[in-house]
Amino acid sequence: MPLTAKPLSGLKVIELGTLIAGPFASRICAEFGAQVIKVESPDGGDPLRKWRKLYEGTSLWWFVQARNKQSLTLNLKHPDGLAILKQLLSDADILIENFRPGVLEKLGLGWETLHALNPKLVMVRLSGFGQTGPMKDQPGFGAVGESMGGLRYITGFEDRPPVRTGISIGDSIAALWGVIGALMALRHREVNGGDGQVVDVALYEAIFAMMESMVPEFDVFGFIRERSGNIMPGITPSSIHTTADGKHVQIGANGDAIFKRFMQAIGRDDLADDPALASNDGRDSRRDELYGVIDRWVNSQSLEAVLAALNQAEVPASRIYSAEDMFSDPQFLAREMFIQAKLPDGKAFKMPGIVPKLSQTPGSSEWVGPELGEHNSLVLASLGYDATQIARLRESGAI
């Protein structure tokens, strides 16, 4: 697929980010055609290069998180390195950064300076607590955002301490808000004739925005939602159950018609026809009874038998997938959710596919995360530097 067929082709994105939130936001832009120049420190670059499982010294996560990006090393404490960054930003469309508030200002790259340099620039700022407020200068990772935003409080079982999800969900959700904000700002710039603006995303607010009815329920009723294990409080039935062969299945039968079909499928016509259970409020008031019925039925069946019966009855259900399950699943394969790629030594490996699916201008993965400074010469040449000048920049420690 040529780059001109991608929806963000022609956009120039500068990434000043490390680890997760900023780099994930720019990865999405890169997958859909934007030129993403990732600025890294010459001294090792993004720490993500060394996170989790390493292949010949480089994180497999890195090859995914930095795909389609160009790596440029700049020493921002060196005047020439800073000057190069300003050149890049002078005609860029988007800057994505996830430093602690004030870091860019200390480099002389605050919003007022950048806006004067390039009035059309959209600046996406991802931080723990946002650019304002009494906590703005405090360090805040995704785990802190998940805690403060309300997610950790309700995650886990009621008789145990809060738990985390197995991924850095706070960072990733913040990244999505960052991309949404950037596209809104671009829309305003290009359709309404406006200038660039700041997109200010706080990690705790990114999570807080996902907390459904938490705010009005507390404000109106003084209700505080607590941890509830695998059930969905107030929405019944929706939970995880264990089969006779020790497997686990998620069943979501909380729609009125779906619940009726579910009860009929398991031989409980009495519950299917009970008018008190015809709507969610009635079912939730008898939650323990219903989960007992479902548990007994699931406990008596194998996983495959449960899935077959519920599929036949058109009741939403799923095994709890591991990576191994995904790799052979027909739905994942049909949707091209695995992309074949090659590591630097030529070894083939699979990366996750592109989300979302666009029918006319789909995204793609053109290359894996680059080596540190792999695109130095390419990017600097595009700014007018010749080979001699680039060599001098390298010798001086600017790149």
- Domains along the chain with CATH numbers: 3-210+336-396 (3.40.50.10540), 238-319 (3.30.1540.10)
Q: Which residue numbers in the chain have pLDDT < 50? A: 1-3
pLDDT of residue 3: 45
pLDDT of residue 4: 53
Q: Give strand pairing partners of 95.
A: 14, 123
pLDDT of residue 1: 41
pLDDT of residue 5: 80
pLDDT of residue 148: 97
- Which residues are catalytically annotated? 171
